[in-house]
Chain A
Amino acid sequence: MPLVLTEDEVMLVDAARGFLTKSAPVSALRALRDSGDTLRYTPSVWGEMAENGFIAPHVPEAEGGLGMGYAAAGLIAEQMGHTLAPTPFLSAAIAAELVVQVGSAEQKADLLPKIIAGNLIVGFAFEEGLRHNPAGTAVTFKDGKVSGTKKIVLDGVGAKLLIVVAATDAGPGLFLVDPSAAGVTVRPLDLIDSRNAADVDFADTPATPLGEVGAAKAAIARTLDVARALLAAELLGIADEAFDRTVAYLKERVQFGRPIGSFQALQHRAARLYARLDLTRGAVLKALRALDEGDKAATMLCSLSKGAMSKLAYDVMVEATHMHGGIGVTDELDIGLFYKRVRVASELFGDAHFHTDRIATQAFGI
């Protein structure tokens, strides 16, 4: 597929933008944050997203999904970046991907329709360390029970199902756990982006294998790729939005009797960001297309996209905050909300350092 949007994709982008601007603008995130709500997303907005076909749109038609591909999911994520819409979108995409990859026919038939309809929030219990680390797990599965601690389970507060990665004799396995089961302790986090996440302890908690025990290695790797590509797309949306807001401010803010955007010191810094955004959006789309096409380079392209966007979005936010001057560091201005979300989205599933090292080893053999 070429690296331009199809007509259908352009329509999808317009629909997503229209919906999110109206139903999930940045002001809604701010209001939700200030309300102290523990769920940290608005169920009615999530329901409307389901009606619009925005939840896990990549699930193949054969599995009862919309079959719109990863590119469609990425384009929605990108638009969610523009409005900082706080929803369990990423968790739903991850859960659906895992179920599609390894779930039994019964599990697929049971879980996928509920996920796509927005009726079942599923948390992916994966991380265990201080930073993203896909190598190995200390959580165990024995005699039908999991034990150990998982960190930063996205949408873990209020989730009705958890998919837990645990070690088995046959390698890493995926297990379905009911969060209300015995031995589960959900400890809500207070992430800087005001979104829902929790650390979760398991002590001899009953667990059901998703698919066959221990056959999950490839599915986990694939799902991490998908999560990275979607986060990269969201980061692109955030960076574009923060950049556009900054350029508008450069034209409007007057100092020394002229708009500050007339100063070359600021113009060239802005132009440089424009150039980097223009280049990197191709890599974001390429990773999504590669996933759709089953390209064997997809794994590295997802790393490229996530690593590059994590760095670029941060660089955009530094300039965006700086160019807004004093107001840029106040809570009143939305720029700070973008800054915080960039940090969280960068940290999830590997930041620029992680992916640079991964690409060095796996793509270039150094």
Chain B
Amino acid sequence: MSDLDDFRAETRAWLEANCPQSRRGAFRGFSTFNYWGGRKAVFQDEDQQLWFERMRDKGWTVPEWPVEYGGAGLDKARANILQQEMRRIQAQSPLQSLGIWMLGPALLHFGTPEQKAEHLPKIARGEIRWAQGYSEPGAGSDLASLSTKGELKDGQWVVNGSKIWTTNGDKCDMIFTLVRTEPDAPKHQGISFILIDMDQPGVTTKPIKLINGDDPFVQTFFDNATAPADQVVGPRGKGWDVTKYLLGHEREMIGSSMTNSVTETVSSVAKAKLGADGLKADPGLRIAIAQHEMESWILGIAVERLKDMGKAKQFSQFSPSVLKLMGTELNYRRGELLMSIGGFEAINDLMSEPVHSYLHAPANCIAGGSNEVQLNILSKRALGLPEL
């Protein structure tokens, strides 16, 4: 047996023994079912706590991060095996976190040794829950026109302004924030990426209620909020570079999550709900479902190809935009098809799964840079089409 086979066998045995039954099963959306960590976190039940703590202690909340930062230092092959073995028993992720998905990669790439040592272990151990502060009421698609202002006074940053669409901002401890620190520089070059503690009088939040009844977003206000001078990631005024790197991560994640998070195919839902005879009586719906399955399959293969390209050190600069665009549009159609399959039942319950994805789909086409922004990126940078 190879080392990898050994690792797989050990991992399988450990997961079998340590993942509580209640922590297994289909993905339930980004709800409180999953643990998000942070100073204000409360465990939903004993199993949630047990599962989180066991995984944390093995460094498997961030398996590929170095051990010194709370990870397990696994190479890509072992990390893939762990992921496959978790998927095999449908083990839920022990810790959901913007720190893991977004800030961590940015710190690993741009952070100082001190910043890494200070923040990464707390992310890995779920001690600090991070929020993302990008969009502003006046800066959405044109993100670089943001106006939240930061001034260095008496050895610390003083921040004033407001961020919007802060995901679960009321439950977070710290926020990585884009702040205009060089007001006289061209708009892309005057922005810094600053880490701000939200537990201070200068930071307040207000919830935003959505059409599906959820309120996962808040508006965040900075009123003379402060942060130590050394909490700038990357050089001062170069926050846009950090952001571009991170948005690449986010777009790829939004796009590929459209394939990964789906445990039930639309066709399996259709079969269960309508039966083979019901679908036969509805040939238009049947073909629409088949077309959706084909597109979904193609997207899954594209994600697989992107991973293979990464392993072969071939980088496809525009893949995040492609995946984001195509993945979110696919998700739109998925939501619509689930509503069609659900018929009169589906329109009668705001809390039902199909309604939830139906009403949530539009948000994905906007978040992380609207799909028109992705089309602009592809037109200008991938195709080299001229500016107007």
Contact = CB atoms under 8 A, between A and B. Distances in A.
Given A304-B294, A364-B290, A270 B305 contact: no
A85 interface: no
Nearest to B314: A4
B301 A259 contact: no
A263 B385 CA distance: 9
Nearest to B280: A366
Nearest to A263: B388
B326 A279 contact: yes
A23 interface: no
Contact of B382 (A262, A274, A360): A274
Contacts of B279: 366
Interface in B332-388: 372, 374-376, 378-380, 382-388
Given A2-B311, A268-B379, A366 B270 contact: yes
B322 A275 contact: yes
Contacts of A359: 290, 293-294
Contacts of A285: 305
B132 to A, nearest CB: 25
A356 B326 contact: no
Interface in B307-331: 308-309, 311-312, 314, 316, 318-319, 321-322, 325-326
A356 B290 contact: yes
A278 B305 CA distance: 10
Interface string A264-281: 101110111011101111
B291 interface: yes
A278 B386 contact: no
Contacts of B290: 356-357, 359-360, 364, 366
Contacts of A365: 267, 271, 276
Chain A CB within 10 Å — which of B270, B291, B304 has the most? B291
Contacts of B294: 304, 307-308, 356, 359
A275 B299 CA distance: 11
Contacts of A261: 383, 385-386
A20 interface: no
A286 interface: yes
Contacts of B314: 4
A4 B315 CA distance: 11
B298 A275 contact: no
A127 B193 CA distance: 64
A240 to B, nearest CB: 13
A159 B319 CA distance: 45
B383 A247 contact: yes
Interface in B264-307: 265, 267, 270-271, 276, 279, 286-287, 289-291, 293-295, 297-299, 301-302, 304-305
Given A267-B379, A268-B372, A270-B379, A258 B386 contact: yes
B375 A268 contact: yes
5 contacts: A4-B312, A258-B386, A267-B385, A282-B298, A364-B290
Interface of B: 265, 267, 270-271, 276, 279, 286-287, 289-291, 293-295, 297-299, 301-302, 304-305, 308-309, 311-312, 314, 316, 318-319, 321-322, 325-326, 372, 374-376, 378-380, 382-388
Given A263-B388, A268-B376, A308-B294, 14 more contacts: A251-B384, A271-B378, A274-B322, A278-B322, A279-B326, A280-B298, A280-B302, A282-B301, A282-B302, A304-B294, A356-B290, A359-B294, A363-B293, A366-B289
